[in-house]
């Protein structure tokens, strides 16, 4: 290994190798603030790209709907069917779609009533869903473990696996990392899927009935909260007509 001369800096490729635990590069980086800061930036970008690419090869919700309704060409249906067979996320989404389509639409038409109070309509229209941690109880093999391993592979393995939650038609993935900019603190990285406009959600992190931080979900469903002290938290995803609660998160 050839080390850079004084005042020189490693390339991005070398810094990425160091992030992958290349010990030979450690001496220079440990004493070079510029390289260390650049490495931290590259680590953040790598996490962001991993989230952007999550499910990038999956068919769209409309394609899955047309698949279920048998409205795809023979070749397209073959491709989608092969993908569903090996993709736990699309399998789950298709199961949700089938459950939704099997639910009968109420035919009851109520008699005319007095005009409702608009404030009451707003209150009644907000649903509260407590999300279910779906990869907490999986053991051995099976669909749940396949989902967990697939997501673990997305970030390159490691001891810490993503936490996967179901909330009706929504799915939330959470991962926790050491916060590179706040020593001793953690960073929460999340992904919300299942909604066509995830940017309408905002995220709040709660502890002891106090909201400690709030952030927005971007148009791809990504969100991040930094500077979290290791503790037990509750997380809320809040939409104008929906609140999803993820309780007792050990961060």
Q: Which residues contact 34 (CB under 8 A, 6 or more apart)?
A: 9
Would you list the domain boundaries of the chain? Answer: 12-52, 61-102, 118-250
Choice between 56 and 118, residue whose per-residue pLDDT is larger: 56
Residue 176 and residue 188 in contact, taking contact as beta carbons nearer than 8 Å:
yes
The proportion of the chain whose per-residue pLDDT surpasses 90, expressed as a percent, equals 24
Task: Say if CB 182 and CB 227 are below 8 A apart.
Answer: yes
Give, as one character, the DSSP assignment of residue 112.
P
45-101 pLDDT, tens digit per residue, is 776 666 555 566 788 878 888 898 888 899 999 999 999 998 887 888 888 778 777
pTM above 0.85, yes or no: no
pLDDT one-digit tens code per residue, 173-216? 998 888 888 888 999 999 999 888 899 999 999 999 899 999 99
Distances (CA, A) of 171 to 20, 48, 174, 200, 239: 29, 18, 10, 15, 14
Instruction: Let me know: does 218 contact 199? Beta carbons within 8 Å.
Output: yes
User: Between 23 and 146, whose confidence is greater?
Assistant: 23
Domain range 118-250, CATH architecture: Sandwich (2.60)
Is 50 exceeded by the pLDDT of residue 150? no
Tell me how far apart the alpha carbons of residues 68 and 136 are, in angstroms, rounded to a whole number.
Answer: 30
Residue 236 pLDDT level (bands cut at 50, 70, 90): very high
């Amino acid at each position: 290994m050839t080390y850079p001369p004084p005042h020189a800096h490693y390339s991005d490729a070398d810094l990425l190798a160091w992030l992958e635990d290349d010990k030979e590069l450690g001496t220079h980086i440990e004493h070079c603030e510029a390289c260390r800061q650049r490495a931290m930036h590259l680590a953040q970008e790598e996490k962001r790209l991993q989230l952007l690419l999550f499910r990038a090869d999956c068919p769209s919700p409309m394609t899955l709907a047309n698949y279920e309704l048998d409205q795809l060409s023979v070749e397209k249906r073959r491709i989608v069917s092969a993908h569903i067979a090996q993709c736990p996320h699309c399998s789950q989404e298709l199961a949700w779609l089938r459950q939704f389509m099997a639910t009968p639409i109420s035919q009851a038409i109520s008699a005319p009533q007095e005009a409702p109070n608009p404030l009451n309509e707003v209150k009644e229209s907000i649903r509260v869903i407590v999300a279910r941690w779906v990869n907490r109880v999986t053991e051995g093999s099976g669909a749940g473990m396949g989902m967990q391993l697939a997501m673990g592979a997305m970030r390159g393995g490691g001891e810490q696996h993503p936490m996967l939650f179901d909330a009706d038609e929504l799915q939330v993935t959470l991962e926790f990392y050491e916060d590179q900019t706040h020593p001793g603190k953690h960073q929460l990285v999340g992904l919300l899927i299942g909604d066509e406009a995830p940017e309408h959600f905002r995220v709040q992190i709660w502890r002891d009935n106090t909201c400690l931080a709030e952030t927005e979900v971007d148009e791809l469903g990504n969100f991040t909260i930094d500077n979290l002290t290791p503790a037990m938290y509750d997380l809320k995803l809040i939409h104008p007509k929906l609140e999803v609660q993820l309780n007792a998160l050990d961060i």
